[in-house]
């Protein structure tokens, strides 16, 4: 394993460690998969992709955060636009297919109301240079600390989350029969008492039928704001993906199928609804 790969894996480990602490559903799901003998260890799970949310302002946004993963030899792929959510996004393919894809979205701040823009800029204007430019990307501990540190003063309410993972994604198609489709996996999740995002249905399917996705509803976490105020805010969630085998490879033996033989990329319509896992319309259901 190269030094770059070792550094990347340390960064991914740091991200997942904090993510699991903030999202109890992760351990519930992984422990249940072991108990039901679907997997022998959580390390067997393929992480389809991880996602970050950013703000489209000078010195930040996609143009800044992507530098971290481009350094680790990820390749920038397709662009997506979400008009209703006012978001732009790209996904990034890893050099090693065993590593997760990266999905980075960016809030189009300039498309918000003037009052919202002023509020966001009152914090982000404190940043006069791209913080990644001064970061030693070969130092995994430094990168890990950066991704979990605030870039502006502690807010009184909004823009609280840092670069904490928005979600990680279990590739269900690699699991054993009975668990290896999104509908079947959803049944397993609901049996565990996991609340699923039901925006436009619990299963989100691409028009070509090749990518099926679902997601949990983000659990609320207690967050400390300026002046010590504590508030419950939406945290992160867990996503599940089923990538169908491409038609030209359907005759291959199951043990020969790898990532390159399955539907690649993302689907904007699917992602648009999965974004709503952190919306009040979804998180309020957990308290009803």
Please compute Rg for the chain using Cα positions: 19
Half-sphere exposure in the Cβ direction for 180 (13 Å, CA): 12
Q: Is 250 left (phi over 0), alpha (psi -120 to 50) or beta?
A: alpha
Number of domains in the chain: 1
pLDDT band at 157 (very low <50, low <70, confident <90, very high): low
pLDDT of 156: 62
Percent of the chain exceeding pLDDT 70 equals 97
Which domain CATH number covers 58?
3.10.180.50
Q: How far apart are CA 47 and CA 70, in angstroms?
A: 19
pLDDT of 226: 79
pLDDT at 288 over 60: no
Q: Taking the model in full, what pTM does it have? A: 0.90
Q: Return the residue matching tokens 């009975």.
A: 178
Of residues 286 and 287, more confidently modeled: 286
Mean pLDDT for the stretch of residues 9-37: 94
Mean pLDDT for the stretch of residues 192-214: 96
Q: How far apart are CA 40 and CA 43, in angstroms?
A: 8
pLDDT of 160: 61
Domain that holds residue 40: 3-287
Q: How far apart are CA 211 and CA 155, in angstroms?
A: 38
Q: Which of 93, 86, 91 lies closest to 104 in space, CA to CA?
A: 91
Mean pLDDT for the stretch of residues 53-78: 96
Helix axis angle for 140-147 and 3-22, nearest 10°, is 30
Among the listed ranges 89-103, 134-148, 228-242, 263-277, which one has the minimum average pLDDT value?
A: 228-242
């Amino acid at each position: 394993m190269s030094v770059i790969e070792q550094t990347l894996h340390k960064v991914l480990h740091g991200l997942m460690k904090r993510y699991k602490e903030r999202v109890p559903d992760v351990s519930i799901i992984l422990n249940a998969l072991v108990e039901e003998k679907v997997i022998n260890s959580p390390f067997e799970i393929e992480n389809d992709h991880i996602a970050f949310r950013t703000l489209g302002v000078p010195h930040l946004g996609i143009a800044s955060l992507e530098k971290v993963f481009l350094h680790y030899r990820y390749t920038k792929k397709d662009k997506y636009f979400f008009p209703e959510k006012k978001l732009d996004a790209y996904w990034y393919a890893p050099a090693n297919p065993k590593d997760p894809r990266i999905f980075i979205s960016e809030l189009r701040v300039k498309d918000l109301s003037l009052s919202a823009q002023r509020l966001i800029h009152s914090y982000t204007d404190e940043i006069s240079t791209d913080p990644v430019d001064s970061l030693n990307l070969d130092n995994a501990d430094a990168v890990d600390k950066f991704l979990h540190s605030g870039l502006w003063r502690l807010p009184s309410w909004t823009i609280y989350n840092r670069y904490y993972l928005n979600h990680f994604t279990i590739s269900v198609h690699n699991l054993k029969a009975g668990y290896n489709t999104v509908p079947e996996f959803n049944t397993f999740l609901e049996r565990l008492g996991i609340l699923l995002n039901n925006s436009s249905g619990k299963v989100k399917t691409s028009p070509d039928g090749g990518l099926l996705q679902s997601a949990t509803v983000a659990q609320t976490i207690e967050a400390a704001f300026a002046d010590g105020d504590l508030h419950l805010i939406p945290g992160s969630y867990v996503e599940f993906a089923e990538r169908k085998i491409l038609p030209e490879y359907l005759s291959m033996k199951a043990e020969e199928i790898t990532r390159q033989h399955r539907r690649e990329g993302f689907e904007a319509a699917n992602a648009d609804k999965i974004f709503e896992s952190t919306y009040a319309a979804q998180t309020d259901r957990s308290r009803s």
